[in-house]
Structure 1
Amino acid sequence: MEDFIPLLRNQIEDEILTVRRLVPVEETYTVMKEAEPFYFPGNEIGVLVQHGFTGTTHSVRELGQYLAACGFTVYGPRLKGHGTHYKEMETTSYQDWVASAEAGYMMLQEKCSQIFVVGLSMGGTLALHLAHRYPETKGMVLINAALEIPDMEQVTDWEEPRFLEAIGSDIKADGVQELSYEKVPLQSFKEIVKLMALTKEKVPAVSCPAKILVSKEDHVVPPSNSQFIYDDLSSSDKKLIELEDSYHVATLDNDKDRIQRETEEFIRRLT
């Protein structure tokens, strides 16, 4: 009997491990500090400010605060799977990110008579999607918007590794760090490539006024993306502006004050 008890214990432990492998435990993740969504109530002019791929609202919060100080109603959503842990991001799709953006747009629609969309990197991709889906969009400001990134497209056929090194914090200014993931799920790269390809096809059908801000030097999104957007937009009111002193995360970089002023000027001119 004494010999049987250890064998029984081992058998039970093996069965428990088998069940755990077959039925994955759902992990819960807390939102990072400064990665929370932000909302600043203001006037009838609504501005949706969207962060980028693997990033957080931290990268666009200062821009949002500036626009709120101008009197606008500002909302910065946290895209699903962002601002928690890269393992959670792995479980989300580009449709989830689109849904987060659309939910933010609809929230502002309930409170405001005019909506502007602003986006950094993939946030710019989502802004293009929203301008296409909602033609009544008053205008859009795109900051290093992403439609085609060859380095990402190269990994779409890979099956491993599960996680790759991060792409965040491409910032020229000394001592400035973006709050983002330290690793990126391979599956998430595949998802953003799908989103960019689908959005690229929609660009010629977008006709709302646009201000396109592009860093002269960007180590994440080739600056040619912004030129393509400018050339292909149907908008009669569009402007392409080069940022001389910033890398990819320009909203936290040396040109952040200019971005804030350019965005305010654009919104005021159209309202």
Structure 2
Amino acid sequence: MSEKYPVLEGAEPFYFEGNRVGILVSHGFTGSTQSMRPLGEAYAKAGYTVCGPRLKGHGTHYEDMEQTTYHDWIASVEEAYQWLKERCDTIFVTGLSMDGTLTLYMAEKHPEIRAIIPINAAVDIPAMLPVRQLEDMRYLDAIGSDIKKPGVVELAYEKTPVQSVKEILTFMDEVKADLHIITCPVLIFVSDEDHVVPPDNSQIIYDEIGSEIKELHQLKDSYHVATLDNDQQVIIEKTLKFIDKNL
């Protein structure tokens, strides 16, 4: 299924070629690369090779997203990973929200990944479960732009396809079941107040991953889209220190 809508301005994938250390930077559910670009630019400025893929069905129109599956989203991240593998010896992966989930998935499937940095990652959202039973509703309200900082808006869809929620629920179940497989170093960021993903998801991840080196860092001044929020610089600085420590 090809997308029938053009890519929105600001939602394009981004690539920065730097040294032999790569960082895969991935956006969240119904969102776009706009939410991760500040991080990608900061990591590129530090000298790293960075890839920020646009997930299939994202950054265009919610009708495109409705036609995609979580396998399509995995394929988008795998393609970005291959781009980095061709240029880098060492790869780190970071992602926001559903792409925190995809980040965990990549660590489960690619043990050679050096370390991961999930941000407000989702593995268990009880409030979403009733959506599985919806058959006569096509769209839900938007979930984007959960940001504390005044005047900052996430480039995200104004509606959330029910079919896409069903996809993410299935994907979360799969990833959660295999968390114990993850053994690479993990730095988990979690907002104290998040109106999309319950903060206890990050504690579940911390408790269930098999990694010996793992940190859970609380973000005191941001909501769900922390990468565009008040703690953006905290995420950048702590991630760069974490990467340097784990090279």
Distance 1:132 1:106 in 2: 16
Q: Is the Cα–Cα contact under 8 Å of residues 216 and 242 in structure 1 kept in the other structure?
A: yes
Q: How has the CA–CA distance of structure 1 residues 210 and 27 changed in structure 2, closer, same or farther, with 3 Å as cutoff?
A: closer
1:98 partner SS:
helix
Distance 2:98 2:233 in 1: 21
Q: Which moved more, 1:147-156 or 1:187-196?
A: 147-156
Distance 2:78 2:115 in 1: 16
1:140 aligns with 2:122: no
Q: Is the Cα–Cα contact under 8 Å of residues 3 and 57 in structure 2 kept in the other structure?
A: no
Q: Which runs of 5+ in 1 are unaligned?
A: 1-25
Q: Is the Cα–Cα contact under 8 Å of residues 7 and 60 in structure 2 kept in the other structure?
A: yes
Q: Which has the larger radius of gyration?
A: 1
1:181 aligns with 2:149: no
Aligned to 1:76: 52
Deviation at 1:32, TM superposition (A): 0.3
Aligned to 1:121: 97
1:149 is matched by which residue type in structure 2?
I
Distance 2:115 2:238 in 1: 13
Aligned to 2:64: 88
Match of 1:48 among 24, 38, 61: 24
Which residues of 2 match residues 200-219 of structure 1 at below 5 A? 200-219=176-195
Aligned to 1:34: 10
2:40 partner SS:
helix
Q: Is the Cα–Cα contact under 8 Å of residues 160 and 186 in structure 1 kept in the other structure?
A: no
Deviation at 1:103, TM superposition (A): 0.9
Aligned to 1:155: 131
Deviation at 1:202, TM superposition (A): 1.1
Aligned to 1:249: 225
Instruction: Give the CA RMSD over aligned residues.
Output: 0.9
Aligned to 1:131: 107
Deviation at 1:247, TM superposition (A): 0.3
Distance 2:203 2:229 in 1: 21
What is the aligned-residue identity percentage? 55
Deviation at 1:164, TM superposition (A): 1.2
Deviation at 1:28, TM superposition (A): 1.7
Distance 1:241 1:132 in 2: 21
2:47 is matched by which residue type in structure 1?
G
In the superposition, the TM-score normalised over structure 1's length comes to: 0.90
Deviation at 1:27, TM superposition (A): 7.0
Distance 1:98 1:149 in 2: 20
1:118-174 per-position Cα deviation (integer Å, ceiling 9, x unaligned): 000011100111011110100000100000111221111111211111111000000
Match of 1:60 among 36, 44, 63: 36
1:266 aligns with 2:242: yes
In the superposition, the TM-score normalised over structure 2's length comes to: 0.98
1:111 partner SS:
coil
Match of 2:216 among 240, 249, 256: 240
1:214 is matched by which residue type in structure 2?
V
Q: Which moved more, 1:147-156 or 1:222-231?
A: 147-156
Distance 1:195 1:110 in 2: 28
Q: Which runs of 5+ in 2 are unaligned?
A: none
Structure 1 stretches of 4+ with a deviation exceeding 3 A read: none
